Amino acid sequence: MTTTITDFIFPKIHTFPPLYTKQPNSTILSNQLDSWCQIILSYCEYYRITSLTINGIPKYTQLETIDLEKIPPIFENKTINRTTNDDFKSSIIHHLIYKLNKAEYINPKKPELGIYIYWRSLVEWGQLLYDYVDNSGQLGTVLTIYELTKSDENGLPDSLKNLDETLLIKIVKDFLIKQGKAQILMTEDNEIGGVKIV
Amino acid sequence: MNYSWQQDRDAYSQLGRSINERHTDQLSTQLSVFQSALVNFASEHGDEIKQNLEFRSKFTQICNSVGIDPLDLILYTNSSSTTSNKSRGDNFYIALAVRITEVCQKTRDLNGGLIALKELISILKDSDSLQINISQSDIERSLIHLNTLGKGYTILNINDKKWLKFTSATGSGISNDQKKVYELCSFMGGFVTYRLLRDNYDWDKIRCKTVVEEMIMNGLVWVDTQGDNGEYQFWEPSWISN
């Protein structure tokens, strides 16, 4: 994990000036929104970003070697001097959440906390997690959040390393528990003490 | 102890990776051998495939399972090895016409139904697994076949470049004024403004507005409100793929 990552290469449409203006023609607009969402998803997947603020600023990445403040922004292109305004940004995010189901508010009651970006769906994340626990022979063992995201000892795959803890808990709660494949154990202080995947 | 365990694991995963890679290589070689065998088969037994219905449906199944579009095969087997276009049969142009309609349909929401021939050809070449040479005159000949079904496709000359205009059954053609907007776009590197239209064509305010607004409605241009000095720019979408 010492190598640094080169800058994401945006598709050519990212330098097309009208992309930054919300198009009045509805057919074109829906295409434009699709293009924007595609850009966000590949950008986040490239930098392994799992959450954004509602203004499209990266919040969390699994990669420890990158500085989120130094990577090129999504909604701004300095070479052509264009930015997406807040109103249009929120249309794009709305499209990503409700039309494409590729994002979700971190807390629906507090949208200002930002959104999770699902370039990998909760189901796929859950499957990865389950496969790891299964393959390492740890089914039925109580594992701490630390062991599931940071530990080097049991061959934790890169895809899961440094996963945002809140996202991890969401994956367990929204998918694995519903499937009857996991339990969460609470400590006396009402904090999460561990996860048991069965 | 821990350290050597780590080394073991690295060695194993490296081994796993190299076995995987070898497998993928072998499989893709096999697949391409099989694909080319299929192509040869199609050119040798073309008549039989055409005449025998059962044989044809089996053959199409095989094509699908190895990821070859039967349409590509028709294109390929009828494109013939000679460089002279004259020897290409009607089947080639009909198959090409199908491909052209596919591309036009797929890109219409982005470009409003106006596509540069150069761009069309490059999309056709990209989507085709068998590398067939397609020229502008091939496209024009295919369109003759297509237009017997109704005049939905026309070739336009804008600034010495050829464009294909695709209109739906209800849609209208492209007006002279709209053509002039596109002409100016290509001079200006992709966009026009009201001022540029006025200065170049001496159109009055209303005429500029009418033409541009209709083009926005038809998806022929995109609006950019962030131009220099806040002047609106109207961009032709084929810029994206140029």
For chain B, the structural domain boundaries read: 2-68, 85-166, 176-241
Whether the CA torsion A174, A175, A177, A182 is positive or negative: it is negative
Q: Identify the pLDDT of residue A40.
A: 97
The ranges assigned to domains in chain A are 12-117, 122-197
Quote the mean pLDDT of chain A: 92
Residues 6+ apart with CB under 8 A from A70: none
Q: Identify the pLDDT of residue A22.
A: 97
Architecture of domain B176-241: Orthogonal Bundle (1.10)
Closest Cα in chain A to B107: A31
Asked if A16 reaches chain B (Cβ–Cβ under 8 Å), the answer is yes
Q: Identify the pLDDT of residue B22.
A: 92
Mutation site for B-interface testing, chosen from A25, A34, A80 by largest number of B Cβ within 10 Å: A25
Residue A16 to residue B222, Cβ atoms within 8 A? yes
CATH for B85-166, among 1.10.10.10, 1.10.1520.10, 3.40.109.10, 2.70.98.10?
1.10.10.10
Asked if B37 reaches chain A (Cβ–Cβ under 8 Å), the answer is no
DSSP string of chain B? -HHHHHHHHHHHHHHHHHHHHHHHHHHHHHHHHHHHHHHHHHHHSHHHHHH-HHHHHHHHHHHHHTT--HHHHHHHHHH-SSS-GGG--HHHHHHHHHHHHHHHHHHHHHHTTEEEHHHHHHHHHHH-TT-----HHHHHHHHHHHHTT-S-EEEEEETTEEEEEE--SS-----HHHHHHHHHHHHTTSEE-HHHHHHHH---HHHHHHHHHHHHHTTSSEEES-SGGG--EEE-GGGGG-
Q: Identify the pLDDT of residue A167.
A: 95
Q: Which of B109, B218, B235 shows the shortest C-beta gap to A18?
A: B235
Q: Identify the pLDDT of residue A96.
A: 97
Burial class of residue B74, CB neighbours in 10 A (0-12, 13-18, 19+): buried
> φ, ψ for residue A189 (rounded to 5)?
-85, 15
What is the three-class DSSP state of A184?
A: strand
Cβ-based contacts under 8 A for chains A and B: 52
C-alpha distance from A129 to closest chain B C-alpha (Å): 19
Residue A49 belongs to what H/E stretch? strand A49-52
Average of per-residue pLDDT across A8-13: 94
C-alpha distance from B15 to closest chain A C-alpha (Å): 16
Q: Identify the pLDDT of residue B166.
A: 78
Q: Which residues of A touch B224 (CB under 8 A)?
A: 17-18, 20-21, 82
The ipTM is 0.85
Q: Which of A12, A16, A30 shows the shortest C-beta gap to B235?
A: A16
CATH for A122-197, among 1.10.10.10, 1.10.357.10, 3.30.2310.20, 3.20.20.70?
1.10.10.10
Mutation site for A-interface testing, chosen from B226, B234, B241 by largest number of A Cβ within 10 Å: B226
Cross-strand partners of A194 = A185
Q: Which of B9, B191, B225 shows the shortest C-beta gap to A155?
A: B9
Q: Which residues of B touch A27 (CB under 8 A)?
A: 109, 219
Which superfamily is assigned to A12-117 in CATH?
"Winged helix" DNA-binding domain. Chain C. Domain 1 (1.10.10.570)
Q: Which residues of B touch A30 (CB under 8 A)?
A: 109
How far is residue B197 from each of residues B31, B157, B214, measured CA to CA in Å? 55, 19, 15
Q: Identify the pLDDT of residue B70.
A: 78
Closest Cα in chain A to B242: A12
Residue A17 to residue B241, Cβ atoms within 8 A? no
Closest Cα in chain B to A13: B240
Average of per-residue pLDDT across A102-117: 95
How far is residue A139's CA from residue A131's CA, in Å, rounded to a whole number? 10
The proportion of chain A whose per-residue pLDDT surpasses 70, expressed as a percent, equals: 98
Whole-number CA gyration radius for chain A: 19
* Length of chain A counted residue by residue: 198
Residue B226 to residue A83, Cβ atoms within 8 A? yes
Residue type, position A42, single letter: S
How far is residue B214's CA from residue B145's CA, in Å, rounded to a whole number? 31
Over residues A151-197, the pLDDT tens digits come to 777 788 889 999 999 999 999 999 999 989 999 988 888 888 889 99
Residue A49 reports pLDDT greater than 80:
yes
Q: Which residues of A touch B233 (CB under 8 A)?
A: 17-18
| Per-residue tokens: A97 | 């959440």
**pTM, two decimal places:** 0.71
Asked if B31 reaches chain A (Cβ–Cβ under 8 Å), the answer is no
Q: Which residues of chain B have pLDDT under 70?
A: 1-3, 80-87, 128-130, 168-173
How far is residue A165 from each of residues A170, A172, B85, B222, measured CA to CA in Å? 9, 11, 63, 42
Asked if A83 reaches chain B (Cβ–Cβ under 8 Å), the answer is yes
